[in-house]
Amino acid sequence: MRITQGTFSYLPDFTDEEIAQQAQYAIDNGWPLSVEFTDDPHPRNNYWDMWGLPMFDLTDAAGVLYEVNECRKAYPNHYIKLNAYDARYGRQTTALSFLVNRPEVEPGFRLERQEGPGRVVRFTTYPYALDKPKGDRYGS
């Protein structure tokens, strides 16, 4: 199942060129970009690992694409996203965030039902990938 999270997630995956153009748009707006990765696909997983620090002072998207590719090399089978922060408000505000890499095979989620007192049923989604320990979830 294709994970759809972040901006542009209903579009087909971006090419490198399109990623660079989006990054350039963010840079032109003065938003520093950062690369994050994870192998826990749950939509409520807020804690992605940082790939280096946010990239301040860049003028060209080539530097961003370089880091994205470095991260892809290290974690080819992880989810990788690009975040752009808008610092104008004086606090961390994500202006743009989109996936730039996803595992080859995405097994998707199973729906678990928990029966409570009365006829209450609680639902929870559980990624199949989480059955394996961190780092082993998508092959390499």
Partner 1 sequence: MTAPPERRQGFGMAAPGRPAPQQDGRAEEAGGRSADPAGQRFAQGQGQGSRSAEPEQDSSAERQIDLLPEDATVNLAAERKAAGIDELLDALDRELVGLAPIKLRIQEIAALLLVDQVRERFGLAATRPSLHMCFTGAPGTGKTTVAMRMAELLHRVGYLERGHLVAVTRDDLVGQYVGHTAPKTKEVLKRAMGGVLFIDEAYYLYRADNERDYGQESIEILLQVMENQRDKIVVVLAGYKDRMDEFFASNPGMSSRIAHHLDFPEYSLDELADIAQLMLSEVRYRLSEDAEATLREYLSRRMQQPRFANARSVRNALERARLRHANRLLSEPDRAWNRDDLMRLESADLLASRVFSEPTSESPAS
The binding site for partner 1 (CB under 8 A) comprises: 11-13, 15-18, 20-21, 52, 55, 57-67, 69, 72-73, 76, 104
Q: Which is nearer to partner 1, 29 or 125 (CB)?
A: 29
Nearest distance in Å: CB 69, partner 1: 5
Q: Which is nearer to partner 1, 5 or 24 (CB)?
A: 24
Q: Which is nearer to partner 1, 104 or 115 (CB)?
A: 104
Q: Which is nearer to partner 1, 8 or 45 (CB)?
A: 8
The one-letter amino acid at 103: P
Alpha carbon distance 126, 48 (integer Å): 18
Nearest distance in Å: CB 62, partner 1: 4
Alpha carbon distance 98, 14 (integer Å): 10
84 burial level (CB within 10 Å; 0-12, 13-18, 19+):
buried
If one counts every other C-beta atom within 10 angstroms of the C-beta of residue 132, the result is: 12
